[in-house]
Amino acid sequence: MKLNLPILSLFVVMVFGCNSETEMKPKTQFKKSEHSLASSKKLVPDKRGFTFRMNRSIFTSESQKLMQGVRLFDLSTKEYCRVKGDIVFVSNASIEELKSFGQQIERVTKNTWRLNYMKGEDLYSEYKKLEKSPLISLIEISLIYEPIAKPEVTM
C-alpha cells in the first residue's frame, strides 16, 4: 500500500489540481531592463542621420547618399563600417543578360558577380534598382567593418 500511495496522490493532484477552467498566472512579472540593447544610448548613434535598409540589416549614416568611403553604423551588430564601392549579387543569368546593368561587371564565382562603381556614385539607389530585378536572387553592398579599438593600457 505504501507504493501505491504516491501514485494515488499524484493522480489526485493531476485530476483535481489541473483544472482546464483555472487560469494560471505567472508569479513573477518581468520588467524591461534599462540596460537592454534597445535602450542603451551609448551603443546607438545619433538619430539625426539617415536610415538605410539593405544587406538584410538596418544601417544609419550622416550621409544621405551611400558612396564609396561613407561610414555607416550597423544596428544589428552595433558596429561601424564603410562602403567599399561595389555591389555583389547572386544570379543564374548569363553574362550577356547581366551586361544590361551597364556597369563594369566581374565574375567572382560560378553564380556570384560584382558590379564596380566609380567614386561618387550613389550605391544605395543602384542597390534598390538591382534588388527589383528578377535576374538577381541575392544582393549586397560590399562593406568593410572597422575593428573595435582596444583601450590603451598604461602602467
pLDDT score, position 128? 95
pLDDT score, position 36? 34
pLDDT score, position 45? 52
pLDDT score, position 99? 87
- Helices (H), ranges, the chain: 4-12, 95-98, 123-131
Within 8 A by CB and 6+ apart from 99, the residues are 105
Whole-prediction pTM: 0.64
pLDDT score, position 152? 60
Low-confidence ranges of the chain (pLDDT < 50): 1, 3, 5-43
pLDDT score, position 100? 86
Kindly list the structural domains of the chain, giving each domain's residue range(s) and its CATH number in brackets, ordered by start.
Answer: 50-143 (3.30.70)
